[in-house]
Amino acid sequence: MKLLVINGSPRGNRSNTYKLTKAFLSGMKENADAAGEAFELVEIQVNQLKIHPCLGCFSCWNQTPGNCCIHDDMEEVIQKLLWADITIWSFPLYYFTVPGGLKNLIDRQLPMQLPFMTENEKQTGNGSHPPRYDMTGKKTVVISTCGFYTAEGNYDGIYSLFDHTCGRDGYTTIFCGQGELFRIPDLSQRTDQYLGIVRKAGMEYFSGRILPETVAELSQLLYPRETFEAWADLSWGIDRQSGEKESDALTFTRQMAVLYRKESYPGRDQVLEMYYTDIDECYQIVMGKEGSRVVTDGSMTATTRIETPLSV
Ligand SMILES: Cc1cc2nc3c(=O)[nH]c(=O)nc-3n(C[C@H](O)[C@H](O)[C@H](O)COP(=O)(O)O)c2cc1C
């Protein structure tokens, strides 16, 4: 099995999405190894390639059929696309579509098509170009994270792109909201659990298809919308009223506070006092029946006090 991963995140290896892609690959590889099937993997980091934008000259159709007039890294990418049995497109959602660098790569696939007008009923039924090369049996997986709380409703542009190019049932997707949480070590309990499901999806995909139960698990939010959005707003470290940068210790304390689950209310308010020894700052989290709040003037009587350097 020949696998091509196209990582279209400008962050390269530090991409959130790439974490999902690696989990998916590890699941596929485990089942490939168990089945004794060869697993050849080539990864393309789009941010390390020189791929110029398409010039729109159509010379790849009428002057030098099959060959672009721009000679850059795209020539190699086309060879890899033709080589692979399965291509995994891995990218963040940018303005409800793909990042610019990846869009250049997508546009530059034009030499892979013939110019003639045709209809491919498996696609969307509103015009198509025939492939220049035999792509029969090749498969496509699309993996993406986005920044809003849910992937639902945010991927219309991506679905449209792949519906037109691969056909409506011609590709497999994993789309995940709250993508920035994958880079927060403190939240790894939840994100690792999700990556475990992605890994399972990879194993199932190798064996034929991702099972409906797994698809349902993948569509679960990482955190409830309210918790995520409160946490995300705080993550910028900016005071909501003034718009100015606030103390890192205060931001951190507020982020801890939004993770409080009021269902665990024990019958009376608890006050967690955080004293950051290295910067001499103290904040209190009041955890009550209706939720939590942060007190900055130290006016509450602490139930529990934690003394720690902020760096810890
Ligand atoms: C320029 C830009 C545009 C973005 N547009 C969207 C968007 O339209 N919808 C969304 O939910 N998230 C959007 N995001 C957030 C990213 O999709 C999100 O942070 C993602 O997890 C980054 O993944 P990566 O680490 O793999 O690059 C955008 C981020 C940037 C920098």
Distance 196 CA to ligand 1 centre (A): 22
Please state the rounded mean pLDDT for residues 299-304: 97
Q: Which atom of ligand 1 is nearest to the CA of 145?
A: 21
pLDDT score of 123 more than 80: no
Distance, CA of 82 to CA of 135 (rounded, Å): 8
47, 93, 150: which to mutate for ligand 1, most atoms within 8 A of CB?
A: 93
Examine the pLDDT at 312 and tell me if it is beyond 80. Answer: yes
Enter the tokens of residue 269. Answer: 């308010």
* Distance between CA atoms of residues 233 and 180, nearest Å: 12
Q: How far is the CA of 194 from the centre of ligand 1 (A)?
A: 19
Return the pLDDT at 126: 82
In angstroms, what CA-CA distances link 40 with 1, 33, 278? Answer: 6, 11, 50
> According to the model, what pLDDT value does residue 145 have?
98
Asked if pLDDT for residue 121 goes beyond 80, the answer is: no
Q: How far is the CA of 300 from the centre of ligand 1 (A)?
A: 40
Atom of ligand 1 nearest to the CA of 9: 27
Answer yes or no: is pLDDT of 279 > 90.
yes
Mean pLDDT for the stretch of residues 1-25: 98
Instruction: Please name each of the domains of the chain with its CATH number.
Output: 2-223 (3.40.50.360), 226-308 (no CATH)
What are 39-71's pLDDT values in tens digits?
A: 999 999 999 999 999 999 999 999 999 999 999
Please tell me the number of Cα atoms within 13 Å of 289 on its side-chain side: 2
Q: Which residues line ligand 1 (CB under 6 A)?
A: 9, 11, 15-18, 92-96, 145-148, 154, 179-180
CB 186 within 8 A of CB 230: no
290 pLDDT band (50/70/90 cuts)? very high
Give residue 237 CA to ligand 1 midpoint distance, Å.
19
Residue pLDDT, tens place only, 173-226: 999 999 999 999 989 999 999 999 999 999 999 999 999 999 999 999 999 999
CA of 177 to the centre of ligand 1 (A): 10
How high is the pLDDT of residue 124? 76
Residue nearest to atom 19 of ligand 1 (CA): 147
pLDDT at residue 294, as a whole number: 96
What pLDDT shows up at residue 74?
98
Q: Roughly what angle, to the nearest 10 degrees, separates helices 225-235 and 248-258?
A: 180
pLDDT at position 125 is: 76
The predicted model gives 119-129 an average pLDDT of 81
